[in-house]
Amino acid sequence: MYKKIILKLSGESLGKQGQGISFKDVDRIIAEIKPLAGKGISLGIIVGGGNIWRGSEHGGNLIKSTDSDYVGMTATLINGLVLRSRFAKHKISAALFSSFPVGNYIEQFTLEKVAAAWKDKKIVIMVGGTGRPHFTTDTGAAVFAVETSSEVVLKATDVDGVYDKDPNKDATARLIKRISFDEVIKRNLKVMDMSAFSICRHHGIKIVVFNFNKKGNILRAASGLSVGSLIL
């Protein structure tokens, strides 16, 4: 069982792309995470905003890319507020922090606040990505993992892991259960954005890519059992 985990959730896991919040999907996520509570795990969740805004598709050339990124970062605040509220509804304690100041309804992140929340056995939800435009929430997850000395980044996806080919285009694609960082680079495999990947590689933080839609996978991944693809 890992003791300190960063879980990267896409915005699309909270609702269909560009169509906002699905409380059915949110509650399914919470039901999957709930078994981790009380197991002595310090869990941090980084959430994206793609269910509300995807800059490449919604912004396009209509607004500046920097502005579009800030809109996307703001979308993660909405997702974080919803997650915290639904965790509370299910009697799970969670603390919500933003990487940049937003006012009196979300506290700004500090390592001391995160440590205190984990000491109180709360799940930590981080929003706002890195706090700067032009970086993905994958990179936010990697940076947060380094800052908190976490052991692993669990990247929740809608596929079973990392494949040697695109499984949506090639029926012969093979799931790779275990692979090194260097081999991923050599074979040009898609794990997460290169900035995030490089940060994890440099700091020796494992990455597990797994299918979050399969019941019990998050508990298996957090327990160090074989699920999805392990990059180390």
The CATH number linked to 205 is 3.40.1160.10
- pLDDT of 61 higher than 80: no
Q: What six digits make up the tokens of 123?
A: 């799940």
How high is the pLDDT of residue 165? 87
Over 70: is that where the pLDDT of 209 sits?
Answer: yes
* Band (177; pLDDT cuts 50, 70, 90): very high
The mean pLDDT of 94-121, rounded to a whole number, is 95
Q: Which pLDDT belongs to residue 220?
A: 95
Instruction: Tell me how far CA of residue 105 lies from CA of 33, 95, 147, 159, 200, in angstroms.
Output: 24, 12, 24, 35, 31
Domain range spanning residue 15? 4-231
Rounded CA separation 6/17 (Å): 23
In this structure, of 57-66, 144-153, 202-211, the range with the lowest mean pLDDT score is: 57-66
Q: What is the pLDDT of residue 70?
A: 94
The whole-number pLDDT of residue 202 equals: 97
Average pLDDT, the chain: 93
State phi, psi for 146 to the nearest 5 degrees. -65, -45
pLDDT for residue 167: 83
pTM: 0.94
- Provide the domain count of the chain: 1
Q: Check if the beta carbon of residue 154 is closer than 8 Å to that of residue 145.
A: no
Over the stretch 67-101, which tens digit does the pLDDT of each residue have? 999 999 999 999 999 999 999 999 999 999 999 99
Q: Which of 15-29, 35-49, 113-127, 145-159 has the lowest mean pLDDT?
A: 15-29
pLDDT of residue 104: 85
Confidence of residue 62 (pLDDT cuts 50, 70, 90): confident
Query: pLDDT tens for residues 136-163?
Result: 999 999 999 999 999 999 999 988 999 9
Q: Which of 193, 214, 218, 213 lies closest to 5 in space, CA to CA? A: 218
For residue 123, name the pLDDT band (cuts at 50, 70, 90): very high
